[in-house]
Structure 1
């Protein structure tokens, strides 16, 4: 892991891991239900706030609001999971899902901003009262401050939806590997992930991503899963667009959990039919054609939560049969098994899945994002036992077509041997 984030994790200690376990077990594993409940509760909270702001403040204490909140929470908790299930089988539900998620996320975000503003400003209102200022001053502060908080949240949402976080960014990384022969120094890999074709990444947007990737002139192109979203209707169109990807040492892909939602076999069949130049790695190795040898391996995402130490039979099998005459790049959709992959001897792991949080606070490195509540490996470069992991921010969207402080990314990795692994003539020690 890189130094700054490693120190953060150590400082957090076991407490942060306990928080992650709680979020995984009680929120993320039941996300549609929790999200639906949050939408219902947030909707009533915004109604109560608006009533207090523009009408009668005493209505906030009306017992009918509490009853409405309970009903709305229950309805939301039932509706969103039902829509999510329907979206995997019906085109109308698949089309409606991102719209509903976008509206729901907006409601929850604005409500959270209002509640946070009121929480902070209440302390100042109490201070005003202690200083003997008229009550109207504190009330004005609460009203003006909460409106400002809602407006700021709304502006951030509008920017995220309109700009997709600022457009696709090409990031460049020099990755040193202990196991890389000097003859492979300078080899470049273009890394794409989480396109989610069918949820806003299709047509002209997808064509642009393919063209920009090819223009980088990488030696090898790797796609680390979630090529498609929930819409099986776009499989042929999306595969035809991906067929235009080209690199001297080949184009390689693995399938992610969203590919599994459509059907991993169906996605693999569409790629075989319309993009035969893409090697889909489903529990196997491929020699990339370099000299000395370079291998690429990958396996399907199992489609369930395996962050709790669950065994990954395909990873273990790949580790047992890993060729010993050259370094191996592993494509693994979720990054959480990186430590095990490093222990099995994989030199470089390329992953995605978390979208860099998709929404992050605009602070240095984008490290404050919701994905950190789920994983140690949310975005960027990590190191472990001489191996390296790069977690892409991805290119598409999960749920709402929104990004904030987490720009879509095409990552270009230049591989180099670590300095200590070279002798005076530039050969491996």
Structure 2
């Protein structure tokens, strides 16, 4: 945070100064001008304070959460409404810079107001605004018994962030309503500690699937992001977390594979531990997990981090037909309208949300069931993914 602070501050100030031009065009009221500046002063002071306070305590975490919310409420509406002012300034270049048109400033402020309420909804209600996303995929070598086989995928539950029983239950009811053949969970059950799931075990254990529930670990499941009193305590936490997967009825796959059988035919389900680029641990071992898989089998992989697909899976000697991943959360912020999809996370991950295909191999990146950091979701709503497998004749 400290290293990025100067850049964040510069962007903040530039958007602030530019948007203020619309405010000044609409009103000369000094009270409004002072209030506008006061809000920015408080937020920038909060940003500075975060650099110098301990971030491990509950008070500090609450401060960070509140600051993130207020920053988004002020920064995002300004940022997305500024192109209106910019378009006007481009025309003013060719008109000897006349005074700003009032209607343009009104449009700018009105657009900012609309975006403000979208952001407000995301922060207050977006965390449990679950969406079902469906895809149907066709494979010529899919065993006939699995024609129409449905898979519900969950990812990034992050139970340590949950506070609303009714909100979480809303999402779980939506999962069961899909009546899928299997449920796959692709990691990050907790934020840091296995105990974060204690409250939610009864609810999650009621998830139902005819042919089983399977899971893998994500980067947050190993306890790598919290200070432990000893290495032994950290290892005990991981042991308990693995037990929790069993407590909620999921078969945890640790660099291994299992067969899912139906009407005398089978498909292979592979699960690897977390493997990620960019400084993340590489616990996953696809070679080990795929060892012994018969040639010609239909293979589905669960791998938490989508960077594993490009780096390892695509080039593996076993044909992995379909990979399920998560991890990115779609950054919990973005825009999805019709076929248009954008989030800042796309500049970090090549595959970051939804379905991807290369050389007949598919990757589905789940936007996540839960949330982390920002206690909300803006545009990138929490997701229950349903993939239906069909045989291509």
Answer yes or no: is 1:371 the counterpart of 2:345: yes
Match for residue 382 of structure 1? 356
Q: CA separation in 2, counterparts of 1:264 and 1:399? A: 25
Q: 1:126 to 1:231 in 2, by over 3 A?
A: farther
Match for residue 298 of structure 2? 327
1:409 counterpart (361, 365, 383): 383
Q: CA separation in 2, counterparts of 1:300 and 1:82? A: 34
| Residue pair 1:328, 1:346 contacting (<8 A) in 2 also | yes
2:79 counterpart (112, 126, 135): 112
Give the C-alpha shift of residue 154 in structure 1. Answer: 1.3
Match for residue 185 of structure 2? 223
The 3-state SS of whatever aligns with 2:133 is: strand
Answer yes or no: is 1:282 the counterpart of 2:254: yes
Stretch moving more, 270-279 or 181-190 = 270-279
Give the C-alpha shift of residue 245 in structure 1. Answer: 1.7
Answer yes or no: is 1:38 the counterpart of 2:38: no
Stretch moving more, 227-236 or 391-400 = 227-236
Give the C-alpha shift of residue 332 in structure 1. Answer: 0.8
Cα deviations by residue, 1:369-428 (Å, 9 ceiling, x for unpaired) = 222212221222222333221112222223323333333221122212333xxxxxxxxx
The 3-state SS of whatever aligns with 1:395 is: coil
- List gaps (5 residues or longer) in structure 1: 1-30, 420-429
The 3-state SS of whatever aligns with 1:148 is: helix
Q: TM-score, normalised by structure 2?
A: 0.77
| Residue pair 1:36, 1:77 contacting (<8 A) in 2 also | no
Cα deviations by residue, 1:21-62 (Å, 9 ceiling, x for unpaired) = xxxxxxxxxx675368526862696389659736699xx9xx
Match for residue 230 of structure 2? none
Give the C-alpha shift of residue 162 in structure 1. Answer: 3.8
Q: CA separation in 1, counterparts of 2:128 and 2:201? A: 26
| Residue pair 1:189, 1:218 contacting (<8 A) in 2 also | yes
Match for residue 206 of structure 1? 168
Give the C-alpha shift of residue 111 in structure 1. Answer: 4.2
Computed over aligned residues only, the root mean square deviation of the Cα atoms, in angstroms, reads: 3.9
Q: CA separation in 2, counterparts of 1:333 and 1:91? A: 28
Q: CA separation in 2, counterparts of 1:287 and 1:342? A: 21
| Residue pair 1:381, 1:390 contacting (<8 A) in 2 also | yes
Q: 1:333 to 1:82 in 2, by over 3 A?
A: farther
Answer yes or no: is 1:237 the counterpart of 2:237: no
1:295 counterpart (268, 276, 279): 268
Match for residue 70 of structure 2? 103
Q: 1:416 to 1:270 in 2, by over 3 A?
A: same
| Residue pair 1:268, 1:280 contacting (<8 A) in 2 also | no
Q: CA separation in 2, counterparts of 1:248 and 1:416? A: 18
Answer yes or no: is 1:192 the counterpart of 2:154: yes
Q: CA separation in 2, counterparts of 1:267 and 1:238? A: 18
- List gaps (5 residues or longer) in structure 2: 227-233
Give the C-alpha shift of residue 220 in structure 1. Answer: 0.9
Give the C-alpha shift of residue 351 in structure 1. Answer: 1.0
Cα deviations by residue, 1:335-368 (Å, 9 ceiling, x for unpaired) = 1222431332222111112233532234322422
The 3-state SS of whatever aligns with 1:176 is: strand
Give the C-alpha shift of residue 191 in structure 1. Answer: 0.7
Match for residue 350 of structure 1? 324
| Residue pair 1:393, 1:409 contacting (<8 A) in 2 also | yes
Q: CA separation in 1, counterparts of 2:5 and 2:290? A: 38
Match for residue 427 of structure 1? none
| Residue pair 1:102, 1:400 contacting (<8 A) in 2 also | yes
Q: CA separation in 2, counterparts of 1:238 and 1:96? A: 26
The 3-state SS of whatever aligns with 2:176 is: helix
1:341 counterpart (313, 316, 319): 313
| Residue pair 1:230, 1:258 contacting (<8 A) in 2 also | yes
More helix by share: 1
